[in-house]
Structure 1
Amino acid sequence: MAIVSDASDASDVNCLEFKLPDLGEGLTEAEIVRWLVEIGDVVAVDQPVVEVETAKALVEVPCPYAGMVTARFGEEGAELPVGSPLLTVTVGPEVGAGAGGSSSDADRGSGGSAAGAAGAAGSAGAPAGDDDSSGNVLVGYGTSGAVAARRRRVRVTGGTRLDPVPSSTLRPGPVPVISPLVRRLAREHGLDLRGLAGSGPDGLILRSDVEQAIRAPAAIVTDRPARVEAGRAPEPAEAAPVAAVAGSRVPLRGMRGAVADKLARSRREIPDATCWVDADATAFMAARTAMNAAAGPTVPKISVLALLARVCTAALARFPELNSTVDTEAREIVRLPSVHLGFAAQTERGLVVPVVREADGRTTESLNDEFIRLTEAARSGALTPAELTGGTFTLNNYGVFGVDGSTPIINHPEAAMLGVGRIVPKPWVHEGELAVRQVVQLSLTFDHRVCDGGTAGGFLRYVADCVEQPAVLLRGV
């Protein structure tokens, strides 16, 4: 229901309440990472107003109204349930003109259709006939349309403050940092990223660069301005939340909490077993080198992961039992028609599993392109909830950590996970003689309810055969 801000002008000015929208994929709450607007700011239709972290991704939430922000609900770091008030916006002819520019721009931004306006009003609790909403309140990832420039004023409310960097040493132009988590860490400690030299590619500022600057003794200031509320003493300085110390408590919430719940459920419900085999990957690596050489220097190199994914989808076509899930209530095994291949990716936010849709219908090049896209999105914190859910089988390359084997926990509700260790030179009997070959350990963790050891062993043996003799794949093409 619209809240009238001035009884004398009730027909022209309304104070509308925007509630945290449904973020999709069964998510029921989100944590406020940072506010993108302050009270008193004028916002445009579909302008992002807050960045929130769900159990699956960082999301910028756009506001469906154009007007002036008159209230915000929740401090940074607070968790809000879906449907709770997020902010209020005062809308009216004069305010709308200031937010959207010309009156024609405001008309275009207000939605164009009665259905769109009604949809937005339903999300925010505004009347269905209100034309100040966009009708594009997100379910997951945001709304369409041009976003006006916005002011971002940051208040440091905790942590260690750093000495300001002299303006003469600041880097001109845009700051080379793509991770919102790096920006958040710097903001929490009052660190100006323009004064940092990044150690990443092309000067990219990494989290380690920010943490090193925070730990630098010369940068720490003890006279942090205290935050004082009515009737309360100033709060003591807070320790920088870089790492847990003995005796401390780290909340299991957000993505870390969702991962913990999912892993615990997997262990409770799935009777898993693991089998493994060593394979001679010399021919496999030689085939990859030949493929990349033939493609030329301008074409993205085919990764080991993309080749293994192609082997994986071929193996699942032969052993479809492993591309399934178990309906525990109906006591049924559900065979899935398509392979949505998840792959484990380590990021600054922790381990995530992006999903390549319809992997069984893709070529090796298509798989490679999608791995590149999703990996870049994972590292920058830009993965959407839809890109992190719906997997039917997971490929886990833990060889990048320099280890040979593992017995991972199955990504519930999937039925299996293929693990790949490092590929390293080892002594190997080749054609009756001892030789140094490129050897890899492959492991398969599977749900023993969907198949027995014979099926699991057959799947793993086929994968190993394709690694040892890549031409085996041609029989199924």
Structure 2
Amino acid sequence: MSTDFVLPQLGEGLLEAELVQWLVAEGDAVELNQNIAEVETAKAVIELPSPFAGTVSTLHHAAGDTVEVGEVLISFDVAGAPAPATEPVAATAEPEEEKATPNLVGYGAAPRKGARPARRARAARSGDARAAADTAVLEAAPHDAIVEPPPERVRERPRSTPPVRKLAKDLGVDLALVPASGENGLITRDDVQMYADRVGAVPAAAAAAAPARRTDDDARVRRIPIRGVRKFTAAAMVKSAFTAPHVTTFHTVDVTETMRLVASLKADRSLADHRIGVMAVAAKAVCLALGRNPSLNARWDAEADEIVEYHYVNLGIAAATDRGLIVPVIDDADAMALPELADRISELALTARSGKTPPAAMTGGTFSITNFGVFGVEAGTPILNPGEAGILGLGSVARRPWEHDGQIALRDVMTLSLSFDHRLVDGAEGSRFLVDVASILAEPGRAMLMR
């Protein structure tokens, strides 16, 4: 029997995905949980496993198509699958209980029709693997590190099928303006054609034949579609910038002792499996300083009219990737020793480079770090991740003349840039946090005095 597989919800707030490529073809036999396609959400590229064992009968979309959650993606011929109902259901009949669909590994059970999707628990992230790659991908992140999704969509995408969307595009019709006559608000071909006839829409072909009014549609201009991670990041940046009152403060610190510590740890054979760098030391310093300054590890809950302070640190580390900026999160970073924290940063680097960071790994952060110093930039004004009270930017480490022990000497110097939500954090609190981080980087041994 033929069985359809619809695109599941791949993360909270993710209502669509772009089909990157098929990993199977029509006629292929597939096994349960065999990867069948790669799709790109607003957060990451994800491989979809098959929820059925059978034969691929129909691929309903081509690479590059945008597919909505709940839209049929692929059909299978599955032995023993129930045949689709052919008898109409009377309007007065009681609705039957929906049959369970096979579980899609990694994403939980499919949501029931009409039910509000339940929030999934974050997937556990292993800390056993040891990454040998350089962590530059995590350190090479622009200062405006934002990936948290807007909690609501301003405008829902009209429900329609790919052929109908193509017809609307050819006729120059905006689907958002077309009244829907189909079941559950589905826009049909007739709806589009009737709207086009009524308003006198100009077909795309006719518009193309008209004299060009623009001069930038030639080879001198490159047009890049705004989609995926970049579209998601842009929306989150705008939301954050115009919701939370940002304040940024700076502090330049002598990090010579931190650089010496890093060099000595790298030379220690017992720590050869751990890549402990400046980012890891800074992350540990942030965790310690947040314990002393809880207002920086909090969020503003406008609906409840409350400030929520966290007694744990889920630390976001900004990562620049080929597909855009993401901020994977290290859960309970404050409970980790320095080598373990360094290992997690290395693991995030490998996953981010491959584009396989799961959506669940980029939610739940309470504070973030971004490093624009690898670009040679001394300081910046980081933009907050929505829902977080602070973000720390790490500037470049430069060898400069500096006052030390009453004399001028060449020292390793770094500028720290802290942006915070002024609703949650006063200037004095922000300054104390920044000084705490700086004191650890200036004299790492001071960490022994903090709790």
The answer to whether TM tops 0.5 is: yes
Over 3 Å counting, the alpha-carbon distance change for 1:292 and 1:332 in structure 2 is same
**In the alignment, residue 393 of structure 1 is paired with which amino acid?**
F
Label 1:331 to 1:289 Cα distance change in 2 as closer, same or farther (>3 A).
Answer: same
Residue in structure 1 matched with residue 52 of structure 2 by the alignment: 65
- Cα shift at 1:309: 0.6
Q: Percent identity?
A: 40
- 1:453 maps to what in 2? 427
Correspondence for 1:428 among 393, 396, 402: 402
The one-letter amino acid paired with 1:31 is E
What is the TM-score when the length of structure 1 is the normalising length? 0.66
Q: SS at 1:274's partner residue?
A: strand
Residue number among 5, 8, 30 corresponding to 2:17 in the alignment: 30
Displacement of 1:268 after TM fit? Answer: 1.0
CA spacing shift, 1:439–1:245, aligned 2, 3 Å: farther
Distance in structure 2 (CA, Å) of the matches to 1:89 and 1:127: 20
Alpha carbons 2:402, 2:411 under 8 Å: kept: yes
- 1:292 and 1:419 map into 2 onto residues whose CA distance is 24
In angstroms, what is the RMSD of aligned CA positions? 2.5
Deviation per CA, 1:410-437: give whole Å up to 9, x if none: 1111110011101110010111111110
* CA pair 337-297 structure 1, distance change in 2 beyond 3 A: closer
Q: Does 1:136 align with 2:103?
A: yes
Equivalent-residue separation in structure 2 for 1:426 and 1:70 (angstroms): 67
Q: Is it true that 1:381 corresponds to 2:355 in the alignment? A: yes
Deviation at 1:20, TM superposition (A): 0.8
- 5+ residue gaps, structure 2: 82-95, 111-132, 135-204, 206-217
State the number of aligned residues. Answer: 333
Partner of 1:464: 438
The 2-side partners of 1:440 and 1:142 are apart by 48
Q: Distance in 2 between matches of 1:280 and 1:74?
A: 56
Q: Distance in 2 between matches of 1:34 and 1:299?
A: 36
Check whether the contact 1:141–1:384 (CA below 8 A) recurs between aligned residues: no
Per-residue Cα deviation, 1:434-476 (whole angstroms, up to 9, x for no partner): 1110000011100000011000000001111111111110102
1:142 offset after TM fit, Å? 11
8 Å CA contact 2:43–2:229 kept in 1: the answer is yes
1:14-413 counterparts in 2 under 5 A?
A: 14-92=1-79, 128=99, 135-138=102-105, 140=107, 247-296=221-270, 298-413=272-387
Q: Distance between the aligned counterparts of 2:328 and 2:239, measured in 1?
A: 20
| 1:128 partner letter | K
Query: Could you tell me how far apart the structure 2 residues matched to 1:463 and 1:295 are?
Result: 28
How far apart, in 2, do the equivalents of 1:85 and 1:419 lie?
43
Report the CA distance shift for 1:28/1:368 in structure 2 as closer, same or farther (over 3 A): same
For normalisation by structure 2, the TM-score amounts to: 0.70
Counterparts in 2 of 1:89 and 1:247: CA distance versus 1, 3 Å: same
- Could you tell me whether the CA contact under 8 Å between 2:402 and 2:409 is conserved in 1? yes
* Equivalent residues of 1:69, 1:87 under 8 A apart: yes
Amino acid of the residue matched to residue 367 of structure 1?
L
* Pair 1:365–1:141, CA change in 2 (3 A): farther
Shift of 1:293: 2.3
Q: Deviations over 1:177-199 (max 9, x none)?
A: xxxxxxxxxxxxxxxxxxxxxxx
Residue 191 of structure 2 aligns with which residue?
Answer: none
Measured in 2, the distance between the counterparts of 1:397 and 1:295 equals 28
SS at match of 1:458: helix
Please give the alpha-carbon distance, in whole angstroms, between the structure 2 residues aligned to 1:126 and 1:81: 24
What CA deviation, in whole Å up to 9, does each residue of 1:214-242 have, x standing for no partner?
xxxxxxxxxxxxxxxxxxx9xxxxxxxxx
Provide the C-alpha distance between the structure 2 equivalents of 1:295 and 1:311, rounded to a whole number of angstroms.
24
Unaligned runs of 5+ in 1: 1-13, 97-124, 144-199, 202-232, 234-243
Provide the rounded CA distance (Å) in 2 between the counterparts of 1:141 and 1:417.
32
CA contact (8 A) 2:275 2:343 kept: no
Q: For the Cα contact (< 8 Å) 1:21–1:83, is it kept in 2?
A: yes
Q: How far apart, CA to CA, are the structure 2 residues paired with 1:67 and 1:291?
A: 53
Q: Equivalents in 2 of 1:416, 1:61: separation in Å?
A: 35
| DSSP 3-state at the match of 2:241 | helix
Distance of aligned partners of 1:331 and 1:126 in 2 relative to their CA distance in 1, 3 Å threshold: closer
Change in CA separation of 1:301 and 1:382 when aligned onto 2, cut-off 3 Å: same
Q: Shift of residue 362 of structure 1?
A: 0.6
- CA distances 1:127-177 after superposition (whole Å, capped 9, x unpaired): 838xxx7x331454999xxxxxxxxxxxxxxxxxxxxxxxxxxxxxxxxxx
How far 1:329 moved relative to its partner?
2.5
Following superposition, the deviation at residue 389 of structure 1 comes to: 1.4
SS at match of 1:23: coil
Matched residue, 1:196: none
C-alpha distance in structure 2 between counterparts of 1:44 and 1:348, whole Å: 32
- The 2-side partners of 1:349 and 1:126 are apart by 41
